[in-house]
Structure 1
Amino acid sequence: MKKFNVLLVLIFVLVISGCGQSSANEAESDDVIKIGSTPDGYPQVYSEDGEVKGFSADVYQEVFDRLGYEIEWSLTDWTGALASLETGKVDTLANFAVTPERQEKYNYTNPYYYSRAGLGVAQDNEDINSLEDVQGKRVANVTGSNYGDVLKAEDEGDEIELVNYDTMDVIISDVASGNMDAFVTGRETLLAQIQDKGIPLRVTEEAFGEKLVALPFAKTEKNDQLIEEINGALQEMREDGALSEISNEWFGEDVTVSAEE
């Protein structure tokens, strides 16, 4: 009988320990935000010497530090990053513009910056300086990027041929060599890449298609609560100047406010 009682006590202790371990794991998981991105999206999010850096990376770090979350990065190509968000392998995606189509699938935080599209051309290309100049031309776009849609929205006569690439490196090579006429992407981002990385392109003066950039989440009650927390942190960062400070460090200007206001 004593052996039986001892056995019951041991079983009880194991069950309690197991429950405690499970609860601890769940709590740990709740404190981690998995963010998907590409590893070469300088200056938004990029990997260097095993560390994730960039403007958006710095914004997220500040937001989630204030909220007490740890960030876990999942870096892959853009197609893989999108698939990870759709399948729930990551909680959200970095540098994701808000569009009506995307809002049908995801709920967004408030925007943390405003992206404008621009055209990159070869340094010796003096023929392309505006949207009008790429009518009848071939313009490169990264597959899955929203900038191709922004460009086509400006192309009322459907005269611009949009060519999708999987990676930005090949686009830069093709545009610089003249195999592709131009590259549509984030104007501020491309300016920073040319200045700091020596990319052999120049940016045309005309900017267009201002878009809100925010963090997308699957439409669940739990995520809606998280979105409220993130919005609160972003508002604090606007009020205390942290958001504009991060922007000026990366771009030399404040991209966290709308140019259309």
Structure 2
Amino acid sequence: MTLLPENRSKARLGGPAIALALAACWALPSWAGETLDRVKKSGQVVDVLVNDYPPFGFINAQNELDGFDVDVARAFADKLGAKLKLETPGWEAIISGKWSGRWDVAISSATPTEERAKVVDFPVIYYSAPAVLVVHQDEKTIQSAADISGKKVGVGTGSSYEAYVNRNFAIPGHKAIAFPFKDALPVPGDETVNFQNLALGPGVRLDAIVASLATARGGIETTKKLKIVGDPLFAEPNAVVTDKGDPEWNAEVKRVFGELKADGTLARISNKWFGTDITKDVD
């Protein structure tokens, strides 16, 4: 992941009405968690995300952070009554935990895993998307995941897709994931670059890519040279991430996302980006 412009937001605080709203929203007990206390005092929530994962997070033509996760983060901040600050420290920094108060939340399409849950918390799942296998349109030998044994498979660096190709992936609370292949060769990298490399031709740099359905559709539309093969590989829940050990903040995050789902905000954002509601099948 590369570090690109940060701190971009359209959310603003201002005026007595907002001040009254903040006072009402945050009339909470003094024992509220450290993160919530910090957000209350600053009037700002700091969200971290990746910026090379379209259409979830990316730099648009105006050199601004954009995407599904960016819109969700704005809605989250608005519901809190806080100003939004966006930062892009890189995926590994986000998912490794030990944020030391630098960031408050990561709305960044993270799949909960047992290993990740040791260092960060996942207070709420906000959408679910299938993982799929993508190949060049001229590919003849790869028809499903069973055919990627010994093949070069592009995956996002540090992603659940990398763990899947390494046959080292499990989703807590979900049935075991099947790995109908062996000795596939994961090639970690930037997702956009992966699609560009696969578009060069079968086996030129990559033989296939494992990615989310939404990302795959974007890569196919951009390159005009790729296709999805086989059935979805697994259903991938995506959760909001917080630093380990702040149950009061986790409860507040879960509460706010519950409201965003109940009032239709998440569905509207999803339909804007995908033409369908990828948030509907989560609790």
Deviation of 1:82 after TM superposition, in Å, equals: 4.3
Aligned to 1:12: none
Structure 2 vs 1, CA of residues 173 and 78 (structure 1 numbering), >3 Å: closer, same or farther? same
Choose 1 or 2 for highest CA Rg.
1
Deviation of 1:28 after TM superposition, in Å, equals: 7.0
Aligned to 1:258: 281
Of residues 136, 140, 145, the one that matches 2:150 is: 136
Structure 2 residue matching 1:255: 3-state secondary structure: coil
- C-alpha contact (below 8 Å) 2:196/2:223 kept by paired residues: no
Structure 2 vs 1, CA of residues 130 and 237 (structure 1 numbering), >3 Å: closer, same or farther? same
Structure 2 vs 1, CA of residues 101 and 245 (structure 1 numbering), >3 Å: closer, same or farther? same
- C-alpha contact (below 8 Å) 1:35/1:91 kept by paired residues: yes
Aligned to 1:45: 57
Higher deviation after alignment, 130-139 or 73-82: 73-82
Higher deviation after alignment, 26-35 or 234-243: 26-35
Aligned to 1:229: 252
Of residues 220, 232, 242, the one that matches 1:194 is: 220
Of residues 186, 208, 229, the one that matches 1:162 is: 186
Deviation of 1:175 after TM superposition, in Å, equals: 1.6
Structure 1 segment 1-261 matched on structure 2, within 5 A: 30-48=42-60, 49-82=62-95, 85-88=97-100, 89-93=102-106, 94-151=108-165, 152=167, 153=169, 154-155=178-179, 158-165=182-189, 167-177=190-200, 178-195=204-221, 197-198=222-223, 200-221=225-246, 224-258=247-281
Structure 2 vs 1, CA of residues 199 and 37 (structure 1 numbering), >3 Å: closer, same or farther? farther
User: What CA distance in whole angstroms lies between the structure 1 residues aligned with 2:271 and 2:219?
Assistant: 15
User: What CA distance in whole angstroms lies between the structure 2 residues aligned with 1:185 and 1:133?
Assistant: 16
TM-score for both structures, normalised by structure 1: 0.77
Ranges of 4+ aligned residues in structure 1 off by more than 6 Å: none
Q: Which runs of 5+ in 2 are unaligned?
A: 1-37, 170-177
Q: Which runs of 5+ in 1 are unaligned?
A: 1-25
Structure 2 vs 1, CA of residues 157 and 193 (structure 1 numbering), >3 Å: closer, same or farther? closer
User: What CA distance in whole angstroms lies between the structure 2 residues aligned with 1:210 and 1:180?
Assistant: 24
User: What CA distance in whole angstroms lies between the structure 2 residues aligned with 1:29 and 1:203?
Assistant: 48
Write 1 or 2 for the structure with the bigger share of helix: 1
Deviation of 1:231 after TM superposition, in Å, equals: 1.5
Deviation digits for residues 119-152 of structure 1 (CA, Å, limit 9, x no counterpart):
1211222332311222332212121111122342
Aligned to 1:18: none
Structure 2 residue matching 1:206: 3-state secondary structure: strand
Q: Which letter does structure 2 place at the counterpart of 1:249?
A: K
Structure 1 residue matching 2:217: 3-state secondary structure: helix
**Identity of matched residues, %:** 24
- C-alpha contact (below 8 Å) 1:129/1:206 kept by paired residues: no
Structure 2 vs 1, CA of residues 66 and 181 (structure 1 numbering), >3 Å: closer, same or farther? same
Structure 2 residue matching 1:180: 3-state secondary structure: coil
Structure 2 vs 1, CA of residues 240 and 28 (structure 1 numbering), >3 Å: closer, same or farther? closer
User: What CA distance in whole angstroms lies between the structure 1 residues aligned with 2:47 and 2:72?
Assistant: 13
